[in-house]
Amino acid sequence: MDEILSLLKNKHKQIDNIMTFTKELEKVAESNDPEALGAVIAMRQEAMDKVDKVNADIRESLAGLDQESRDKVLRLLAPECDPEELDGRLETDVFNMNQMITRLLQKVVDMDKIVSKKINTGRYNI
């Protein structure tokens, strides 16, 4: 489970990078600089690709666990996991990191909608 926690921390870091690039995308879009916009989009895509890789690593790590351990981790990652049922520091850390990732992803989605709407409605002259 330590490996899963490490991978989740890496995933959070990459999603935080996506958030940073999404905010930067809005700033660059306001500047009407197509080259800078393309560069930020490329960096954001690279961070997204890293998240995909981490997700694949998580799946691979889960596949290497025995059934009981795999079920335990999957329970911790499930949205309906009850924090009252956590057993020990490591389970709590995995659960909390997954919750942090979920909240951050929602912020990224919300920010992305705002930026996309501004770009798609022609608010920026790109």
**What does the pLDDT read at residue 118?**
77
**What does the pLDDT read at residue 60?**
97
**What does the pLDDT read at residue 91?**
95
Could you tell me the mean pLDDT of each successive run of 10 residues in the chain, 126 residues long?
96 97 89 87 96 98 95 93 92 96 96 85 58
Domain ranges of the chain: 2-120
Q: Are the C-beta atoms of 18 and 108 separated by less than 8 Å?
A: yes
Residue from 106, 123, 77, 120 nearest 15 by CA: 106
**What does the pLDDT read at residue 124?**
56
How far from chain centre, in Å, is Cα 119? 23
**Amino acid at site 105:** L
CB-CB neighbours of 91 under 10 Å:
19
